[in-house]
A = this chain, B = another copy of it.
Amino acid sequence: MLAGHPGVRSETRSKVLRALAETNYQPNAMARAMKTSQTGSIGVVVARLSNPLYPAMLQVIGTQLARAGLRMVVWDSEHGGDEPASIALRQGIVDGVILTTATAASPFLRDAMNSRTPVVLVNRTVEGCVCDQISSDNAGGAARIAHYLLGCGRRIALIGGSLEPSTIRERERGFREALTRENEPLPLQLYQRVDTFSHASGREAILRLLDLAAPPDAVFCANDVIALGAIDGARNRGLRVPEDLWVVGYDDIEMASWDAYDLTTVRQPLEEMARLATELLVERMRKPGGNAVTHCLPNDLVIRGSTSRTPFPAESGRAKAGNKEKT
């Protein structure tokens, strides 16, 4: 475990190695890991295991890492914050890190960037952060939803949340800018902000919107879990979906396609994102340095029964990659 370790003086190394050679000492696997700095483990940080998007992401990332002969170590940043992950990083028990929930304010991201451990951001991105970043076109996907709803002549509302995660920020930006470009900017009263991205929040937010003097007849929710709550809230109020209210989500989590909800949503290419993240990470581990790469993948609008099944108006249903909308 001393061979090639930069912190060990050659005098120490030779003395220790001589002592070990004399006594036929066999280093164990952990000692070998120290020597090569190859633990075979990759740390993956997720935000809320209660949002089925993250278990789904772990499934595809786990599969891709296993294919590359690597083990996945999962940290749930909701429990004990990012601290456990930062400690693990300092102890060198992982060869690389995949962050699915980075924000500019994340202390772990700062620690990770300061370590020499390769880091890849997937899903959420952080502007100005010099590391590999992989996302799908959140602004473009949301803009397509705006065009779809406007094209069908709906009175549109938006349920959003914290603008700190890039995913939510980009979706809200893409959605609002698309409406503004069509001279239909979102009225202030048709926006509801939720504090947590949960079923309960979506349920409460739609009830507030339905209490308006002129309630919406279509709502875009910044993620699927909120949208499922919005459907349940509206039905509880006696409304039918889609006859009285259209509901659209974002992510295409498994239950979005279940009959009870049949939710129109945007599907991110999770497998492709996980494959790219693993490839980039393995490449960085093999050959440190080099320019940081950013990928913004295209995504699909999936029209289901929570909106009319009217086909998408203009071109067919795929948002272009890197399709950043300008005001």
In chain B, what residue has the closest Cβ to A49? B55
- The answer to whether B92 touches A1 (Cβ under 8 A) is no
Q: Is A3 an interface residue (CB 8 A)?
A: no
**Candidates B7, B71, B233; contact of A87 at CB < 8 Å:** B71
Q: Report if A163 contacts B (CB, 8 A).
A: no
Instruction: Contacts A231-B260, A260-B261 given; indicate if A88 touches B71 (C-beta within 8 A).
Output: yes
Contact of A91 among B11, B33, B229, B232 (CB under 8 A): B33
Q: How far is the CA of A62 from the CA of B74 in the complex (A)?
A: 11
Min CB distance, A1 to chain B, in Å?
7
The answer, yes or no, to whether A192 is at the interface (CB within 8 Å) is no
Q: Chain B's nearest CB lies how many Å from the CB of A196?
A: 13
Which positions 232-276 of chain A face chain B at CB distance < 8 Å?
A: 232-233, 235-236, 254-255, 258-261
- In the complex formed, the residue of B with least CB distance to A84 is B71
The size class of the interface chain A forms with chain B is 35 or more
Contact B12 A23 (CB under 8 A): yes
Contact between chains at B76 and A75 (CB < 8 Å): no
Of the stretches A34-42, A176-184, A309-317, the one at the interface is: A34-42
Q: List residues 56-91 of chain A with CB under 8 A from any CB of chain B.
A: 56, 58-59, 62-63, 66, 71-76, 78-80, 84, 87-88, 90-91
Q: Type the 1/0 row for A73-113, where 1 means its CB is closer than 8 Å to any CB of B.
A: 11110111000100110111100000000000000000000
Given contacts A23-B12, A59-B49, are A30 and B93 in contact (CB under 8 A)?
yes
Is B73's CB under 8 angstroms from A74's CB?
A: yes
Copies in the complex: 2
Evaluate contact between B92 and A28: CB separation under 8 angstroms: yes
Name the distance in Å between A223's Cβ and chain B's nearest Cβ.
Answer: 15
Please measure, in the bound complex, the distance between the C-alpha atom of A32 and the C-alpha atom of B261, giving whole angstroms: 53
Tell whether A152 is near chain B: CB-to-CB under 8 Å: no
CA distance A29 to B7 in the complex (A): 13
Residues of chain A from 15 to 45 with CB closer than 8 A to chain B in the complex: 15-16, 18-20, 22-23, 25-26, 28-31, 33-34, 39-41
With a cutoff of 8 Å between Cβ atoms, the chain B residues found around residue A229 in the complex are 258
Q: Would you call B254 and A235 a contact (CB within 8 A)? A: no
Does A52 have its Cβ within 8 Å of any Cβ on chain B?
yes
Among candidates B9, B58, B79, B260, residue contacting A232 with C-beta atoms closer than 8 Å = B260
A228 at the interface (CB under 8 A from B): yes
Contacts A40-B87, A49-B59, A76-B59 given; does A92 touch B30 at CB 8 Å: yes
* Residues of chain B within 8 A of A28, CB atoms compared: 7, 34, 91-92
Q: Which A positions have Cβ atoms within 8 angstroms of B? A: 1, 7-9, 11-12, 15-16, 18-20, 22-23, 25-26, 28-31, 33-34, 39-41, 49-50, 52, 54-56, 58-59, 62-63, 66, 71-76, 78-80, 84, 87-88, 90-93, 199, 203, 228-229, 231-233, 235-236, 254-255, 258-261
Lowest 8 CB-CB distances: which A-B pairs, in order?
A: A66-B80, A74-B74, A15-B19, A260-B260, A232-B259, A12-B23, A49-B55, A62-B79
